[in-house]
Structure 1
Amino acid sequence: MLGPLREGAPRRIGPYEVLARLGAGGMGEVFLARAAGDTVSDSFVAVKTVRRDVAGDPAFRDRFRREIKVASLVDSAYAAAPVGGDADAETPWLATAYVPGPSLSQAVRRGGPLPVAAVRALGADVARALADLHGAGVLHRDLKPGNVMLSVDGPRLIDFGIARSNTATTMTATGMMVGTPSFMSPEHVAGARRVTAASDVFCLGSLLCYAATGEDPFGDGPLAAVLYRVSQAEADLSRVPEELRGPLAACLALDPADRPTPEALVGLLGTGAAKVFPWPEGVRDHIGEYGGELAQLVASGGPLLEAPAPAAAGPVVAPAVPGLHSVPTLAPVSAPTVPAGPVAGEPRKRRRRLLAAVLALAVVAGGLGTYLLWPEPAPPKDPAKAAPPAGPRVPGVDGRGTADASGVVAQNAAQRPAGWKPWRAKLTAPAFGCSAGEKALVCRTTDGRYEALDPADGKPLWSADLVADPRDGSSTIGPTGGIFVAGSTNVPAVHGDSVVLLSGKRLQVRDARSGAVRWEQEDPAQAKLDTQPIVGDGTVFVRSGEESDQVTAFALADGRRLWSASLTNNDPSRAEFRDFEPVAYANGLVYALSDGGFVALDAKTGQQRGQVPAEAKSCDGLGVQGRYAYCAPLDATAAAPLSLYRLDATTLAPVGTGRLPLPADVTKSGARPAALSARTAVVVDQGPLPWADWGNTGKPDGVFVLDPATGRTLGHYPIPPLTGADGRKQYVSSPLIAGDTLLYADFSALHLVPLGRNGTPGKERVVPVPGAPGPRAKEPYERVNGTDIGREIRPPEVLPLGGVAHVVYDTGVVASVALPKE
Structure 2
Amino acid sequence: MGQMLGPLREGAPRHIGPYEVLARLGAGGMGEVYLARDTAPGAPPGTYVALKTIRTDVAGEPAFRERFRREIRVAGMVRSAYAAAPVGGDPDAGTPWLATAYVPGPSLAQAVRRGGPLPVATVRALGARIARALADLHAAGVLHRDLKPGNVMLAVDGPRLIDFGIARAGGATTMTATGVIVGTPSFMSPEHVAGARHVTGASDVFCLGSLLCYAATGEDPFGEGPVAAVLYRVAQAEADLTRLPEELRAVVTACLSRDPADRPAPEALAELLGGTAGRPPAWPEAVREHIGEYGRELAQLVASGGPLLEVPAAPAPTSGTPASGGPGLHAAPTVAPLPVPVSPPTPQRRRRRGLIAAVVALAVLGGGVGTYLLWPEPAPKKPATAGPPAASGPRVPGVDDRGLADASGVVPQNAAQRPAGWKPWRAKLSAPAFGCSGNEKALVCRTTDGWYEALDPANGKKLWEASAGGAGRGGQSYMNDHGVPWIVDKASRPTVHDSVVVLAWEGRLQVRDVRSGAVRWESKEPMQGTQREVTRPIVADGTIFAAVAGPSPDGVIHPPIGMAAFSLTDGRKLWSKMLTSDEIPYSETRPFEPVAYAKGQVYALSDGGLVTYDARTGELRGQVDRAAAECEAVKVLGDSAYCVSTPHVVDAEERLHVLDAATLAAKGTVPASLESLSADVISPKAFAGFAKEGLGVYDPKDGTRLASYPLKDTAPAGLKQELSSPLLAGDRLVFADYSALYTVGLGADGRPGGLKATPVPGAPGPRAEEDERDPNYGIVYGRRIRQPEVLPVGGIAYVVYDKGAVASVELPR
Q: Shorter-chain TM-score category?
A: 0.5 to 0.7
Q: Please state if 1:641 is matched with 2:645.
A: no
Amino acid at match of 2:507: K
Cα distance in 1 between the residues matched to 2:358 and 2:701: 59
Task: Indicate the residue corresponding to 1:597 in structure 2.
Answer: 609
Judge conservation of contact 1:442–1:492 (CA < 8 Å) in 2: yes
Task: Indicate the residue corresponding to 1:531 in structure 2.
Answer: 535
Task: Indicate the residue corresponding to 1:196 in structure 2.
Answer: 204
Match of 2:295 among 284, 287, 293: 284
Cα distance in 2 between the residues matched to 1:159 and 1:774: 61
1:281 Cα deviation (Å)?
Answer: 6.1
1:157 Cα deviation (Å)?
Answer: 4.4
Cα distance in 2 between the residues matched to 1:753 and 1:49: 48
Task: Indicate the residue corresponding to 2:468 in structure 1.
Answer: 467
Match of 1:399 among 373, 398, 401: 401
1:797 Cα deviation (Å)?
Answer: 1.0
Cα distance in 2 between the residues matched to 1:82 and 1:274: 30
Q: Deviations over 1:45-100 (max 9, x none)?
A: 9999999x99xx9999999888766x45x355xx55789x999xxxxxx999966x
Match of 1:632 among 645, 669, 692: 645
Task: Indicate the residue corresponding to 1:768 in structure 2.
Answer: 759
Q: Deviations over 1:354-409 (max 9, x none)?
A: xx9xx799663599xx997528999xxxxxxxxx9986765543212333334x30
Task: Indicate the residue corresponding to 1:352 in structure 2.
Answer: none
1:583 Cα deviation (Å)?
Answer: 1.9
Q: Please state if 1:409 is matched with 2:410.
A: yes
Judge conservation of contact 1:740–1:755 (CA < 8 Å) in 2: yes
Task: Indicate the residue corresponding to 2:545 in structure 1.
Answer: 541
- Other structure's SS at 2:207 match: helix
Q: Please state if 1:684 is matched with 2:676.
A: no
1:789 Cα deviation (Å)?
Answer: 2.6
Amino acid at match of 2:535: T
Residues 534-613 of structure 1 aligned to structure 2 (within 5 Å) = 534-546=538-550, 547=559, 549-556=561-568, 559-586=571-598, 588-613=600-625
Q: Please state if 1:364 is matched with 2:361.
A: yes
Cα distance in 1 between the residues matched to 2:604 and 2:577: 10
Q: Please state if 1:426 is matched with 2:427.
A: yes
Judge conservation of contact 1:233–1:254 (CA < 8 Å) in 2: no
1:675 Cα deviation (Å)?
Answer: 3.7
Please give the TM-score of this superposition, normalised by the length of structure 2: 0.64
Cα distance in 1 between the residues matched to 2:573 and 2:479: 35
- Other structure's SS at 1:364 match: coil
Task: Indicate the residue corresponding to 1:744 in structure 2.
Answer: 735
- Other structure's SS at 2:406 match: coil
Of residues 443-452 and 257-266 in structure 1, the stretch that sits farther from structure 2 once superposed is 257-266
- Other structure's SS at 1:398 match: coil
- Aligned pair in 2 of structure 1 residues 653, 266: CA closer, same or farther (>3 Å)? farther
Residues 49-128 of structure 1 aligned to structure 2 (within 5 Å) = 71-72=78-79, 74-75=80-81, 79=83, 102=104, 104=106, 116=115, 127=127
Cα distance in 1 between the residues matched to 2:275 and 2:796: 33
- Other structure's SS at 2:361 match: helix
Cα distance in 2 between the residues matched to 1:442 and 1:266: 39
1:745 Cα deviation (Å)?
Answer: 0.8
1:794 Cα deviation (Å)?
Answer: 2.0
Match of 2:774 among 775, 783, 791: 783
Aligned residues between the structures: 690
- Aligned pair in 2 of structure 1 residues 288, 707: CA closer, same or farther (>3 Å)? closer
Judge conservation of contact 2:304–2:345 (CA < 8 Å) in 1: no
Judge conservation of contact 1:247–1:265 (CA < 8 Å) in 2: no
Cα distance in 2 between the residues matched to 1:722 and 1:783: 29
Task: Indicate the residue corresponding to 2:790 in structure 1.
Answer: 798
Cα distance in 2 between the residues matched to 1:86 and 1:762: 55
- Other structure's SS at 2:299 match: helix
- Other structure's SS at 1:278 match: helix
Q: Please state if 1:733 is matched with 2:724.
A: yes
Judge conservation of contact 2:393–2:730 (CA < 8 Å) in 1: no
Cα distance in 1 between the residues matched to 2:545 and 2:502: 10
- Aligned pair in 2 of structure 1 residues 515, 257: CA closer, same or farther (>3 Å)? farther
1:733 Cα deviation (Å)?
Answer: 0.5
Cα distance in 1 between the residues matched to 2:512 and 2:127: 23
Task: Indicate the residue corresponding to 1:503 in structure 2.
Answer: 505
Q: Deviations over 1:658-683 (max 9, x none)?
A: 797579xx97xxx8553445676545
1:796 Cα deviation (Å)?
Answer: 0.7
Judge conservation of contact 1:232–1:254 (CA < 8 Å) in 2: no
Cα distance in 2 between the residues matched to 1:539 and 1:775: 41
Cα distance in 2 between the residues matched to 1:448 and 1:672: 30
Task: Indicate the residue corresponding to 2:129 in structure 1.
Answer: 129
- Other structure's SS at 2:576 match: strand
User: Could you say what the CA RMSD is over the residues aligned between the two structures, in angstroms?
Assistant: 6.5
- Other structure's SS at 2:588 match: coil
Cα distance in 2 between the residues matched to 1:496 and 1:482: 32
Q: Which runs of 5+ in 2 are unaligned?
A: 91-96, 235-242, 308-343, 365-371, 381-389, 551-558
Judge conservation of contact 2:560–2:581 (CA < 8 Å) in 1: no
- Aligned pair in 2 of structure 1 residues 716, 575: CA closer, same or farther (>3 Å)? same
Task: Indicate the residue corresponding to 2:680 in structure 1.
Answer: 674
Judge conservation of contact 1:398–1:434 (CA < 8 Å) in 2: yes
Please identify the structure whose Cα radius of gyration is greater.
Answer: 1
1:785 Cα deviation (Å)?
Answer: 4.1
- Other structure's SS at 2:786 match: coil
Q: Deviations over 1:557-593 (max 9, x none)?
A: 5544333222223333344333322223345543322
Q: Deviations over 1:137-170 (max 9, x none)?
A: 84654557896677676664456687689xx655
- Other structure's SS at 1:397 match: coil
- Other structure's SS at 1:530 match: coil
- Aligned pair in 2 of structure 1 residues 125, 706: CA closer, same or farther (>3 Å)? same
Cα distance in 2 between the residues matched to 1:28 and 1:632: 54
Q: Deviations over 1:302-331 (max 9, x none)?
A: xxxxxxxxxxxxxxxxxxxxxx99994698
Cα distance in 1 between the residues matched to 2:281 and 2:651: 47
Cα distance in 2 between the residues matched to 1:534 and 1:471: 27
Judge conservation of contact 1:644–1:660 (CA < 8 Å) in 2: no
Amino acid at match of 1:648: L
Cα distance in 2 between the residues matched to 1:190 and 1:33: 43
Cα distance in 1 between the residues matched to 2:590 and 2:285: 44
1:533 Cα deviation (Å)?
Answer: 1.5
Amino acid at match of 1:583: V
- Aligned pair in 2 of structure 1 residues 526, 585: CA closer, same or farther (>3 Å)? same
Q: Deviations over 1:654-705 (max 9, x none)?
A: 566x797579xx97xxx855344567654536xxxxxxxxxxxxxx864455
Q: Please state if 1:477 is matched with 2:485.
A: no
Amino acid at match of 1:593: L
- Aligned pair in 2 of structure 1 residues 530, 141: CA closer, same or farther (>3 Å)? same
Cα distance in 2 between the residues matched to 1:659 and 1:274: 39
Cα distance in 1 between the residues matched to 2:748 and 2:521: 44
Cα distance in 2 between the residues matched to 1:749 and 1:449: 28
- Aligned pair in 2 of structure 1 residues 159, 126: CA closer, same or farther (>3 Å)? farther
Amino acid at match of 2:743: L
1:798 Cα deviation (Å)?
Answer: 1.8
Match of 1:445 among 439, 447, 453: 447
Q: Deviations over 1:186-241 (max 9, x none)?
A: 555555436232413545788999xx99xxx999xxxxx9976874799xxxxxxx
Please give the TM-score of this superposition, normalised by the length of structure 1: 0.63
| Percent identical residues | 36
- Aligned pair in 2 of structure 1 residues 265, 723: CA closer, same or farther (>3 Å)? farther
Cα distance in 2 between the residues matched to 1:61 and 1:375: 43
Task: Indicate the residue corresponding to 1:383 in structure 2.
Answer: none
Judge conservation of contact 1:681–1:708 (CA < 8 Å) in 2: yes
